[in-house]
Structure 1
Amino acid sequence: MIVTVTPNPSLDRTILVGGLVRGAVHRATQVRLDPGGKGVNVSRALAAADRPTVALLPSGGAEGARLAELLAPEAVPVVEVPIGMPTRSNVAVVEADGTTSKFNEPGPELTPAEVAVLETRAGELAGRADWLVSSGSLPSGCPEDLHARLVRVGHGAGARVAVDASGPALAAACEAGPDLIKPNLAELAELSGRALARLGEVLGVAREIRAAGVAGVLVSLGEDGALLVDGTGAWHAAGPATAVLSTVGAGDATLAGFLRAGGSGPEALRVAVAYGTAAVGLAGSRMPAPEDLRTEEVRVHEVDESLSLSGAAA
């Protein structure tokens, strides 16, 4: 089983428009409402592939109840930690060419007691899990090292732990020695404090992170695919060209595919990129199902360190 912990889940409303013009009135061509939050999305993708999963999340108000209702048809088991403030709502505006503008609320403020219950429930669930996935932003009231604390909770329960976070929360989590981190290119650049324009530079940072105690580093690179550095070696994979409908949740789908395929090595990377590629071809934050994948079209090879990255980050 794979347990996901999402400290700051959301209701995600996706609005499709022809083009976004600041200050103008826009007519939506389509609107979707999906359960959201990075760990929630990982569980959604795993459930679509009939992989046992549980989504652990704080839940408050009518929004929290609606989030659980939306997950029920997707067969995602939910463990809710009741909180006093309502779950947040996010909006993504997607243009016809796939350009996505996201408007994320900060989320509710959790009390120390609510955070403590979240950690306790994570440990209880991790005792029955292969992986504990701790991911996403931290709402107000959460300690900056919450992901790091969940790494220790997961390890103490005997589970492997993956972290998908950013900024100081990711830096703190790395110090706790997770089994896997999954930053995107911008998050890795922020973590390293340097510009990353070529694949070789990403490889160098990933190796430094491994040397500091993180077992595996999976970096999503947008249209350039993904890079993996773990105990099996260093690998780069790129998927087929795909018309982009939405980038929301693509990184979460990538992580779900990687864990579904075993959580290490080049074949897991192949599946991860197939999932991420499929996700950008789906509207809103819909997660791919196995029938959406084109795994055989994903190319996995050794790292070409001279490759310039289209999404180069500073």
Structure 2
Amino acid sequence: MITTITLNAAIDKLYRLETFQPGKVNRVSSCAATAGGKGLNVSRAVALLGEPVLATGFCGGHSGAFLKELLSQDQISSSFVPIAGETRTCINLIDGTGTSTELLEPGAPVDEDDLQRFNVHFDALLQETQLTVFSGSLPCGCPEDFYAWLIRCAHNRGVRTILDASGGALAKGIAAKPYLIKPNLEELEVLTGTSIHSKKDAAREAVKLHESGIACVVISLGKEGALLACKEGVFEGTPPDVPVKNTVGCGDSMVAAFAVAIARNYSAEAALQLALSVSSANAMCEKTGFFHLDDLAAILCKGQVNRLG
């Protein structure tokens, strides 16, 4: 089973409108709500790919109850640690030109008691977990090294880990040597303290991170695809050309594909090919962190994966 950890979960609301004009009344033409937070986007994609998945993290209040209801509708099992505060709501506004504007609430704070209860809960879940995915921001009150602590707990149980975070949570987290990380170029620059001007620069830094003890280093290149540095070599993946409806959640779907590929012992090339296809199928769908299996089947293996020298 794959377990996803979303410590700062959210209700994601997608609003579509013809035009977005700051300072004026804006009428929404359609809206949709999903259980959000990066880890829950990962959960949906893992489930669609046919792997057992369990979602955990913190949630609370009426929004927290709604979040669990939305996950149930997506046929995703969940086991959250309750907190006193209300689960946050995040809004994505997409206008007629396809421009996206996101409004992200900070989330309810957690305290030492919440963190201790989560530690106990997480340790119990590790008994039946094959791989854990840590995604997204940390709630207020959560120390920056909390992911690192949880990753070490997972490693002590022989469970592989994926970390998809940014800022201090990523910098502290990689000290625990997760099995896979997926920074984008901006996050890579912050993480390494270097300026990235080309794919060659990015590949060089990815190799350094791999050699530091991280088995798989994936560098997200947005619409240009991704790089992968691992023991099998360094690979560049270019995604298939698809009609784009919504790019929010594409990175999370890519993480989900890598999680499934690791669980199924795919080769590096096959893992990257699946990740490119799933991410692209996500972009073809309006729903955040979602894709249609027919779309995936139509584009599967149409991306290009090349080994770099």
* TM-score exceeds 0.5: yes
**Per-residue displacement from partner, 1:233-263 (whole Å, max 9, x unpaired)?**
1111111222322221111000111221236
Unmatched 5+ residue regions in structure 1? 305-314
In structure 1, the residue matched to 2:301 is 296
Q: What is the deviation of 1:61? A: 0.1
Paired letter, 1:143 = P
The one of 265, 268, 274 aligned to 1:265: 268
Residue type of the alignment partner of 2:238: A
Is contact 1:99–1:246 with CA below 8 Å preserved after alignment?
no
TM-score, normalised relative to structure 2: 0.94
Q: CA deviation at 1:98?
A: 2.8
Q: Which residue of 2 aligns with 1:281?
A: 284
User: What is residue 219 of structure 2 aligned with on the other side?
Assistant: 219
| Shift, 1:266, TM fit | 1.1
Q: Match of 2:211, as an amino acid?
A: A
How many residues matched?
304
Show the counterpart of 1:183: 183
Q: What's the counterpart of residue 312 of structure 1? A: none
Relative to structure 1, the CA distance from residue 299 to residue 97 in structure 2 (aligned partners, 3 Å threshold; closer, same or farther) is farther
Distance change >3 Å, CA 24–CA 277, structure 1 → 2:
same
- C-alpha distance in structure 2 between counterparts of 1:99 and 1:106, whole Å: 23
Deviations 1:20-65 (A, max 9, x none): 3322322222211010011111111111222101001211000000
Tell me the residue number matched to 2:35. Answer: 35
Shift of 1:19: 3.2
Matches of 1:274 and 1:45 in 2, distance apart? 12
User: Counterparts of 1:1-314 in structure 2 under 5 Å?
Assistant: 1-262=1-262, 265-293=268-296, 294-303=299-308
For 1:308, the equivalent position in structure 2 comes to none
How far apart, CA to CA, are the structure 1 residues paired with 2:127 and 2:183? 26
Distance 2:295 2:130 in 1: 25
Q: Distance in 2 between matches of 1:132 and 1:40?
A: 13
Give every structure 1 segment of 4 or more consecutive aligned residues whose post-TM-superposition deviation is greater than 3 Å: none
Residue pair 1:39, 1:252 contacting (<8 A) in 2 also: yes
> Are the aligned partners of 1:199 and 1:303 in contact in 2 as well (CA < 8 Å)?
no
- Whether the aligned pair in 2 keeps the contact of 1:254 and 1:273 (CA below 8 Å) is yes
TM-score (norm 1): 0.93
| One-letter code aligned to 1:256 | A
Q: Structure 1 pair 3/185, CA: closer, same or farther in 2 (3 Å)? A: same
Deviation at 1:120, TM superposition (A): 2.1
SS of the residue corresponding to residue 296 of structure 1 reads coil
Please tell me the residue identity of whatever aligns with 1:283.
E
Q: Say if 2:147 and 2:169, in contact at 8 Å, map to a contact too.
A: yes
Supply the distance in 2 between the matched residues of 1:219 and 1:299 (Cα, whole angstroms): 16
| Alignment correspondent of 1:310 | none
CA contact (8 A) 1:132 1:161 kept: yes
User: 1:115-153 CA distances to partner (integer Å, 9 max, x unpaired)?
Assistant: 122222222212211211111100101011111111101
Structure 2: gaps (5+ residues): none
Contact 2:274-2:301 at 8 Å conserved across structures: no
CA contact 2:13–2:89 (8 Å) conserved in 1: yes
Paired AA for residue 231 in structure 2: G
- Secondary structure of the residue that 2:197 maps to in structure 1? strand
Paired residue type of 2:274: V
Whether the 8 Å CA contact 1:97–1:245 is kept in 2: the answer is: no
Separation in structure 2 between the aligned mates of residue 133 and residue 68 of structure 1, nearest angstrom: 19
Separation in 2, partners of 1:44, 1:224? 24
The answer to whether the 8 Å contact 1:127/1:159 transfers is no
- Counterpart of 1:291, as a letter, is D
Amino acid at match of 1:275: V
1:148-204 deviations in Å (ceiling 9; x for gaps)? 111101111211010000001101111111111111222212212232221111111
Q: What percentage of aligned pairs have identical amino acids?
A: 35
Moved more, 146-155 or 96-105: 96-105
- Output the amino acid matched with 1:157: R
SS at match of 1:57: strand
Superposition deviation, residue 286 in structure 1: 4.1
The AA in structure 2 aligned to 1:285 is T
Is contact 1:270–1:300 with CA below 8 Å preserved after alignment? yes
Tell whether the 8 Å contact from 1:127 to 1:158 is kept in structure 2 after alignment: no
Task: Name the SS for the 1:162 alignment partner.
Answer: strand
